[in-house]
C-alpha cells in the first residue's frame, strides 16, 4: 500500500507526517509526501492546483492523508481522504492570541474551510481527546473522530547518560518549539529572570522562519533550528524540559523529553494533562 501525505511546512504537523511516513515505511507501507509553504495558507483558492489528480495518479497512492484545515482542497476522488485534527485553530481562545489580520483570516476564511473538510473526509482522526472535544465544541457537532495519540521513535528519543558531562553547578532547562504566543515563548524571559543565575535555559527557534526577537538574559542561550538528532542531544544535556504552552493539540516536545527520562514542567491546559500526570 502507498499513502500520500500532504503537508504544510514548518510546524509540528510536518514533523508528525515525516515521522509517521518513516514509521509506516518500516511496516511495508510506502509513503509519498507532498509539502507546501505555509504562505499558501493565505491563498487557499490556489491550494487545489498544488496537487492535481494527475500527480496523485502518477504517484500510485491508495489513500490521501492531510490535516483537516486544508483537507477539502486535497479531496481527489476516487482516492479516500484521511484528515487529522492536530489542534483547533479556529476556537475563540486561540483567535484572541492572533494579530488582527490573522484573527480575521482564521475566523472568516479558515473556519468555513475546516467545516467543509470535516464533512468531506472519509475518516477523521484526532491526536488527543482534548483536540477532539475542541472541534466538537467549536462546530457544535458530535463528530465521528477516532483519537490516536502521537508516538515517537524510542530508539531515537532515549536517555543518554554520556550527554550529561557538562558542569552541573546550574540547573539546565530546555525549551523546544516555535517562538509563538501559543507555545508560551513570551513567558520564557520573565521566568528566567525570576529564577536567576542558578538556572540556564537553552531554547530552539522551531521550524518556521518566524521574525522573532531573540530572548535576552545572562542565563538564556539560543540554539537556533535543530535537527531531530540535535534535539535529542540537547534534551539529554538538560535537567528539566520547560514547555509553558497556552495550547497544545498534543505536546510532542513533552513526549520527547519524557522518553529521554527528563522531568517536565509545563502548563496544566489543553492536551498536556493527557501526557503529564
Burial of 157 (0-12, 13-18, 19+ CB in 10 A): buried
Note the pLDDT of residue 166. Answer: 62
268 SS3 class: coil
> Grid cell 484526532 — which residue?
126
Query: pTM score > 0.85 for this model?
Result: yes
Alpha carbons 238 and 168: distance in angstroms, whole number: 10
Alpha carbons 210 and 7: distance in angstroms, whole number: 18
Alpha carbons 176 and 186: distance in angstroms, whole number: 13
Sign of the Cα torsion 209, 183, 86, 227 reads positive
Q: HEC profile for 53-107?
A: HHHHHHHCCCEEEEEHHHHHHHCCCCCCEEEEECCCCCCHHHHHCCCHHHHHHHH
Note the pLDDT of residue 101. Answer: 85
Cis amide leading into 200 (omega within 30): no
Note the pLDDT of residue 205. Answer: 86
Which segments within 132-267 are labelled E, that is strand? 145-147, 171-175, 199-204, 220-224, 240-243, 264-266
**Which phi and psi (to 5°) does residue 87 adopt?**
-160, 150
Note the pLDDT of residue 154. Answer: 92
Note the pLDDT of residue 103. Answer: 85
Length reported for the chain: 277
Note the pLDDT of residue 242. Answer: 97
Alpha carbons 156 and 257: distance in angstroms, whole number: 11
pLDDT tens, residue order, the chain (277 aa): 999 999 988 777 888 999 999 999 999 999 999 999 888 888 888 888 899 999 999 999 999 999 998 889 999 999 999 999 998 778 777 777 778 888 888 888 889 999 999 999 999 999 999 999 999 999 988 999 999 999 989 999 999 877 665 667 899 999 999 898 889 999 999 999 999 999 999 999 876 555 567 899 999 999 998 988 999 999 999 999 999 999 899 999 999 999 999 999 999 999 999 999 8
Alpha carbons 245 and 247: distance in angstroms, whole number: 5
Amino acid at each position: 500500500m502507498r499513502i500520500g501525505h500532504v503537508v504544510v511546512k514548518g510546524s509540528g504537523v510536518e514533523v508528525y507526517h515525516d515521522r509517521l511516513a518513516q514509521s509506516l515505511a518500516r511496516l511495508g507501507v510506502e509513503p509519498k509526501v507532498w509539502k507546501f509553504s505555509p504562505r499558501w495558507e493565505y491563498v487557499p483558492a490556489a491550494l487545489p492546483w498544488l496537487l492535481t489528480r494527475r500527480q496523485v495518479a502518477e504517484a500510485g497512492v491508495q489513500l490521501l492523508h492531510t490535516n483537516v484545515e486544508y483537507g477539502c482542497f486535497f479531496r481527489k476522488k476516487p482516492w479516500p481522504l484521511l484528515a487529522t485534527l492536530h489542534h483547533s485553530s479556529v476556537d475563540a481562545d486561540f483567535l484572541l492570541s492572533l494579530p488582527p489580520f490573522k484573527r480575521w483570516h482564521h475566523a472568516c476564511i479558515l473556519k468555513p474551510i475546516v467545516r467543509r473538510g470535516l464533512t468531506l473526509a472519509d475518516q477523521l482522526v484526532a491526536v488527543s481527546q482534548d483536540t477532539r472535544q475542541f472541534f466538537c465544541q467549536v462546530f457544535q457537532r458530535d463528530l465521528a473522530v477516532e483519537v490516536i495519540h502521537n508516538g515517537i521513535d524510542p530508539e531515537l528519543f532515549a536517555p543518554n547518560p554520556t550527554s550529561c558531562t557538562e558542569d552541573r553547578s546550574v540547573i539546565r532547562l530546555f525549551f523546544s518549539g516555535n517562538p509563538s504566543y501559543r507555545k508560551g515563548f513570551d513567558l520564557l524571559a520573565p521566568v528566567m529572570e525570576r529564577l536567576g543565575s542558578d538556572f540556564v535555559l537553552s531554547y530552539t527557534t522551531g521550524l518556521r522562519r518566524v521574525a522573532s526577537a531573540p530572548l535576552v538574559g545572562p542565563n538564556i542561550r539560543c540554539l537556533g533550528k535543530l535537527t531531530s538528532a540535535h534535539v535529542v542531544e540537547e534534551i539529554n544535556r538538560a535537567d528539566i524540559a520547560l514547555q509553558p504552552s497556552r495550547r497544545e493539540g498534543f505536546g510532542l516536545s513533552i513526549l520527547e523529553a519524557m522518553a529521554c527520562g527528563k522531568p517536565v514542567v509545563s502548563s496544566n491546559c489543553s492536551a498536556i494533562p493527557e501526557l503529564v500526570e
